[in-house]
Amino acid sequence: MRYQAGFAAILVGIGIGAVQAAIPFINSTSRPWPSADVSSAVDDPMVRRLCGELVAELAGAYHATMATAELLDAFDRGEITRTELAVPIYAAKASASRASLHATSEIYSLMGTRAASRSAGFDRYWRNARTLSLHDPLDWKHEEIGHHVLTGWDPPPGIYT
């Protein structure tokens, strides 16, 4: 389970890092969409909206991931079962995967085409998030959560426990 929680924490960190790295670029280099009728990208309402969406998703994933630390401690003390630990950790991992992949893909919508050049280096965020997310696929986390919710199935220990 610690691997799952660790993966979630790393994924959230990658997503947060991507947004933090995009902010100076948006402030210094990005241009607003012409229809926005504003002089800077930070004043473009669609840039603000998307930035808010990405941050909200990452904040939710962050808090779900942080909550797993308390569950890990409770499990170690024998206060909760493995299933009571597994399902919330799977959910945190799924949320972190989705938020990180969304953030690392959509930072380009915030920054514009200039950010897509390899020399800008923003592609590393998506590449790192995607690679880590493939080690423990999101679809399997969703399947395991759904299996438990629908039938009461107890997830067996897996390769990342």
Domain boundaries, the chain: 2-151
> HSE-up of 148 (CA within 13 Å, CB side)?
17
- Single-letter amino acid code for the residue at 117: S
Cα 96 from Cα 138, distance rounded (Å): 10
- Single-letter amino acid code for the residue at 137: P
Q: What is the pLDDT of residues 99-147, one digit of tens each?
A: 999 999 999 999 999 999 999 999 999 999 999 999 888 898 899 999 9
> Residue 41's CB: how many other CB atoms inside 10 A?
22
Q: What is the pLDDT of residue 161?
A: 54
Cβ proximity of 149 and 31 under 8 Å: no
Residue 125's Cβ-count burial label (10 Å; 0-12, 13-18, 19+) is: buried
Enter the DSSP assignment of 156: P
Q: How confident is the model at residue 8 (pLDDT cuts 50, 70, 90)?
A: very high
Q: How confident is the model at residue 157 (pLDDT cuts 50, 70, 90)?
A: confident
Q: How confident is the model at residue 159 (pLDDT cuts 50, 70, 90)?
A: low
Residue 57's contacts (CB-CB under 8 Å, 6 or more residues apart) are 15, 95, 98, 99, 102, 103
Radius of gyration for the chain, computed over Cα atoms and rounded to the nearest angstrom: 18
- Rounded to an integer, the average pLDDT of 6-17 is 97
- Rounded to an integer, the average pLDDT of 141-161 is 86
Domain 2-151 belongs to what topology? Butyryl-CoA Dehydrogenase, subunit A; domain 3 (1.20.140)
Q: What is the pLDDT of residues 36-66, one digit of tens each?
A: 999 999 999 999 999 999 999 999 999 999 9
pTM summary value: 0.92
Q: How confident is the model at residue 74 (pLDDT cuts 50, 70, 90)?
A: very high
